[in-house]
Amino acid sequence: MVDKNIFCYFYIKRFLFNILFYSYFVLFTLVYFILAGLCFFTFFAFHTTGENRSRLRYYILLYGRLIIKYVIELFIYVKYTDKSIKYSKPCIYIFNHRSASDPFLVALLDDEMAQVVNRWPFKLPFYGVIAKKAEYMSILDLSYEEILKRTTHLLNKGVSIVVFPEGTRSGSNEMGQFNGTFFRIAKEYGCQIIPVCITGNEFIPDRSFKMHFGKIKVHKLKPITYDIYKEMTPFKLKNYVRRIMLEETQKMEAELENE
């Protein structure tokens, strides 16, 4: 009977938390995009397309930061640690991928970025249009040559690329195998690779988008320079980066358990 009551208490608490979180999230998003939209069309409608795309990426970055600060951090502890020291931009950021909150947590990095995403975010009614305009790439709809062309174009403009090489959310603390596409591109372009590890958010939200309480840690690691990887094959490079990230996430999980 006591167990049943405790179960009911947690169920109701989580249910209310989800209602509160998503209501606030949607409201915040609507207000932000109305204000940002007004600002964009008032001040920047007559700028060139390139400048507007850059501003759009800035608005996305700002949106992500505000969502973290004023929505996520109201309920969840988020700690970001920058271990990267000094690195050159633009670069390719490699993220592990556990949950749908990862693309928001990308905003913790201070850089102009375009994300490489799966097909479904492009189909979302609101985000999809903005993602397209901001030159995000849908990995499943493009050939290697097209991805290389677009990535080179963005890097030449000073825009860094955010990649989730596991391809899909793991929903657990497992790390899937990496797809090597962007490691090949890094080798062709010669830019730095910055691994970024996220832990603690595997259920924030879970795979069915239910939010849970918890703590999230984000670590930006040291850059992997061209000098380090130029002799490696793309296959070896992707596994080298994966190994570094696997070790770091295991350390981060141990830290989370002890906190």
Partner 1 sequence: MKREEIVSLVNEVFEEYFELEQEELLPEKLLFDDLGLDSLDIVDMIVGLQKKFGINLRNQTGFQQIRSLKDVYDFLENIVMKKKENGG
- List of residues contacting partner 1 (CB under 8 A): 144, 177-181, 184, 233-236, 238-239, 242
CB of 84 to partner 1, least distance (A): 25
Q: Which two tokens stand for residue 107?
A: 């905003």
Residue (25 or 240) nearer to partner 1, CB: 240
Residue (159 or 245) nearer to partner 1, CB: 245
Residue (168 or 233) nearer to partner 1, CB: 233
Q: Which two tokens stand for residue 57?
A: 């990426």
Residue (11 or 144) nearer to partner 1, CB: 144
3-state SS record for 218-247: EEECCCECHHHHCCCCHHHHHHHHHHHHHH
Query: Are 214 and 200 contacting, i.e. CB atoms less than 8 angstroms apart?
Result: yes
Residue (184 or 217) nearer to partner 1, CB: 184
Question: CA of 182: how far to CAs of 54, 105, 218, in Å?
Answer: 22, 20, 21
Per DSSP, the three-state class of 48 is: coil
Question: Which region, left, alpha or beta, applies to residue 110 given φ > 0 means left and ψ of -120 to 50 means alpha?
Answer: beta
CB of 182 to partner 1, least distance (A): 11
CB of 41 to partner 1, least distance (A): 41
Q: Where are the alpha helices (DSSP H) in the chain?
A: 2-43, 49-67, 73-75, 102-105, 120-123, 127-133, 144-156, 181-189, 226-229, 234-258
CB of 235 to partner 1, least distance (A): 5
CB of 226 to partner 1, least distance (A): 19
